[in-house]
A = this chain, B = another copy of it.
Amino acid sequence: MPKIVRFNETGGPDVLKIEELPPAEPGEGEVRLKVEAIGLNRAEVMYRRGEYHATPQFPARLGFEGAGVVDAIGPGVSEIRIGDRVAIVPLGTTLGAYGLYGESALVPAYAAARYPDALSPVEGAALWMQYLTAYGALIEYGKIKDDDTILITAASSSVGLAAIQIAKAVGAIAIATTRGVDKKQILLDQGADHVVVTDEDELAESVMAITSGKGASLAFDPVAGLFLEKLAQAAAPHGVIYEYGALYPGPTVYSLMPMLAKSLTIRGFQIFDFVMHPDLLARGKEYVFEGIQSGALRPVIDSTFPLDAIADAHRHMESNRQVGKIVVTV
């Protein structure tokens, strides 16, 4: 019987248990995946802890990003065949709906997308979430141009690195932030034009010095909280701040004055919403395929863990030492 990760209570990494469960049969519009690799996401850590805006129903599965081979097909599925090599596009806000943490998982057929042949399953599991999130905010909505300055916070995350690659592909200036100095050189190596170490340097001052007082035209941030105010100070007039996460542990407190004085826009962005629109999703996938082919986009894998070490993989994510994607191999 396939090994499946489940949890029965919110809490630390060790609430994640590996169980052997009978293989499920795909229903209408579903396919079954023989999972080869699982991409970890910060939201899953928050979901496991009970800090996400959707609450787990126990026993809960989790995981919504990964790659594998289709080994069964439900009624009404026509575009996917048994044996297809697919990577799962994260859809929907219920993190437990797919349950990719395991050797076998059912997914809706429309979430199973072929991915570039040049990529391994590990890279396929590090593709859609990061690139579609950064693409959606920077390209589809943000429409960045080569004279823009993009402020990318928490830049050593997989989404942050994806944003650096996309900003550089457009020819914009990419300013990356990281808390500690240890990741500074890595971020420069990954293509950032400038790196601000926020434990040492004042963010707005640094961004203003880099931009000769103009500020960042777009910020791409998963932190929010008290950090939002610093982003507003670092923004250029008419700047747009995309918030795609809620890493800050506490409410977002925000002085309205820079927002009014500089006519700033703050926009919540979630890939789940974005990819539910077939046109947007198709454009995003095409952008990613072309970027992989041209070499502009290259998934950065931080580390891999075997499925049995799923709790260690979560602990590693919570350590914040990673640069790029943490992938669990099956």
Contact = CB atoms under 8 A, between A and B. Distances in A.
A93 B261 CA distance: 8
A145 B147 CA distance: 33
A262 interface: yes
A53 interface: yes
B261 A53 contact: yes
Interface stretch (A29-37, A112-120, A186-194, A248-256): A248-256
Secondary structure dominating the interface of A: mixed
Contact of A266 (B237, B265, B273): B265
Most buried by B among A93, A243, A267: A267
A254 B253 contact: yes
A263 B252 contact: no
A105 interface: no
Count of identical protomers in the assembly: 2
Given A237-B273, A273-B237, A257 B263 contact: no
A93 B237 CA distance: 14
A268 interface: yes
Contact of A268 (B262, B268, B269): B262
A103 to B, nearest CB: 32
Nearest to A223: B256
B253 A251 contact: yes
Contact of A254 (B93, B251, B262): B251
Given A265-B267, A266-B266, A273-B263, A257 B246 contact: yes
A270 interface: yes
B256 A253 contact: no
B273 A268 contact: no
A132 to B, nearest CB: 14
A254 B256 contact: no
Given A251-B254, A254-B252, A264 B260 contact: no
Interface of A: 53, 93, 224-225, 237-238, 243-246, 251-257, 259-270, 273-274
